[in-house]
């Protein structure tokens, strides 16, 4: 495309809320054959909420929630915020009556798995199945049943273990964006396939993928793993776009031929991307590819 055509298209994109950083991305987008979508905050709204809390030991709900809050309050993860908000409601009076706030010591973040620390000299772990398994916490049939029931219904479980035993768990839901399924189906009509990449577990990810009509899922993938999956396809000669919102997505946004960041996403993702979808609407993935096709094929 001529510099003028690129300038015109970039301006047109900007007026529609699709910020294209430079001609390179604009010229590459029409070649895209596969779009990788991050799950949380990209395909889903990204505002998780707790739908249930259960106890699996004889701890009181007050104690359980109080200790969970002390730990999760230190995490930036959206799931942690949902857990804290819900747990706060469950032990409000208990916390108000206490003279001192419960504090966590030795707080640690386990990326893509959860958090841990010491509360009142007791070890606490809050996170997913993987965190429990690497910490040698066995789940048992009752806990397994609760987790798989929720995962099949597209919910993510947060397990809380105290002193090496499961104390209780929370089920968290994060609804898919209303336009997600429509966008996936429209991309298919454009001969572009959609793939999901996420740090979340396979069962939950698969349930969400099904809701939006995505058949290929890469679950339990860490940030570099997301980028690796993209590089594998590029080696086969395919042009890949990545759509994401999190710090976790930045290596993949950089590795992809066209990285697209959700406008409401983190600064790190926006920085790493070639295209910013200002309205945070997934329809604009199509707007961007369409703009590129029209520019490259000189269609008006």
Regarding 276 and contact with ligand ADP (CB under 6 A), the answer is no
Q: In angstroms, how far is the first alpha carbon of the chain from the final one?
A: 14
Partner from ligand ADP, Mg ion, none binding residue 245, C-beta < 5-8 Å depending on class:
Mg ion
Question: CA-based angle 1:257:226, to the nearest 5?
Answer: 170
245 touches Mg ion by CB under 5 A: yes
284 included as an active-site residue: no
CB of 211 or CB of 290, closer to Mg ion? 211
Considering the complex, state which of residue 70 and residue 154 has its C-beta at the smaller distance from Mg ion.
154
d(CA 285, CA 277): 8
Tell whether residue 199 is a contact of ligand ADP (CB under 6 A).
yes
Coil/strand/helix, residue 299: coil
Residue nearest to ligand ADP (CB): 199
**Is position 158 an interface residue for ligand ADP (rule: CB under 6 A)?**
yes
According to CB under 6 A, which one of 9, 25, 77, 167 is a site residue for ligand ADP?
77
d(CA 269, CA 261): 6
Displacement of CA 142 from its chain's centroid (Å): 27
- The tally of CA atoms less than 13 A away on the side-chain side of residue 1 is 26
Q: Which stretch binds ligand ADP (CB under 6 A): 110-118, 250-258, 280-288, 289-297?
A: 110-118
Least gap, CB of 197 to ligand ADP (angstroms): 8
Angle between the 180-189 and 202-212 helix axes, to the nearest 10 degrees?
A: 70
Q: Indicate whether 259 belongs to the interface with Mg ion (CB under 5 A).
A: no
Query: Does position 41 bind Mg ion by CB under 5 A?
Result: yes
Measure the CA–CA gap between 211 and 128, rounded to whole angstroms. Answer: 22
The entry of Mg ion, ligand ADP, none that residue 198 binds, CB within 5 to 8 Å by partner kind: ligand ADP
Kindly tell me which residue out of 40, 116, 256, 281 binds ligand ADP, with binding defined by CB under 6 A.
40
Name the percent of the chain in helix, strand, coil, to the closest 5: 45, 25, 30
Q: What does the binding site for ligand ADP look like in residue numbers (CB under 6 A)?
A: 39-40, 72, 75, 77, 79-80, 112-115, 126-128, 156, 158, 198-200, 246, 248
Which active-site residues does the annotation give?
Answer: 38
């Amino acid at each position: 495309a001529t510099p003028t055509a690129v300038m015109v298209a970039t301006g047109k994109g900007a007026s529609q809320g699709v910020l294209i950083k430079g001609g390179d991305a604009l010229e590459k987008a029409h070649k895209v054959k596969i779009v990788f979508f991050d799950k949380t905050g990209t395909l889903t709204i990204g505002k998780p909420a707790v739908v249930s809390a259960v106890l699996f030991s004889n701890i009181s709900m007050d104690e359980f929630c109080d200790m969970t809050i002390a730990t999760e309050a230190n995490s930036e993860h959206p799931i942690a915020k949902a857990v804290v908000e819900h747990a706060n409601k469950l032990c409000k009076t208990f916390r108000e009556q206490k003279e001192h706030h419960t504090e966590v010591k030795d707080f640690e973040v386990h990326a893509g798995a959860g958090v841990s620390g010491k509360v009142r000299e007791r070890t606490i772990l809050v996170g997913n199945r993987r965190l429990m398994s690497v910490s040698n916490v066995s789940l048992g049939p009752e806990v397994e049943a609760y987790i798989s029931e929720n995962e099949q219904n597209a919910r993510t479980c947060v397990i809380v273990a105290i002193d090496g035993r499961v104390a209780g768990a929370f089920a968290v839901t994060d609804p898919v964006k209303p336009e997600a399924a429509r966008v996936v189906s429209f991309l298919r009509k454009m001969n572009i396939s959609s793939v999901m990449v996420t740090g979340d577990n396979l069962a939950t990810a698969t349930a969400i993928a099904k809701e939006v009509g995505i058949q290929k899922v890469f679950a339990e993938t860490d940030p570099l793993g997301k980028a690796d999956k993209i590089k594998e396809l590029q080696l086969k000669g395919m042009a890949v776009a990545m759509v994401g919102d999190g710090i976790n997505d930045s290596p993949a946004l950089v590795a992809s031929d066209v990285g697209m960041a959700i406008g409401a996403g983190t600064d790190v993702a926006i920085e790493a991307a070639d295209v910013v979808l200002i309205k945070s609407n997934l329809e604009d993935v199509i707007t961007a590819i369409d703009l590129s096709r029209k520019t490259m094929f000189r269609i008006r």
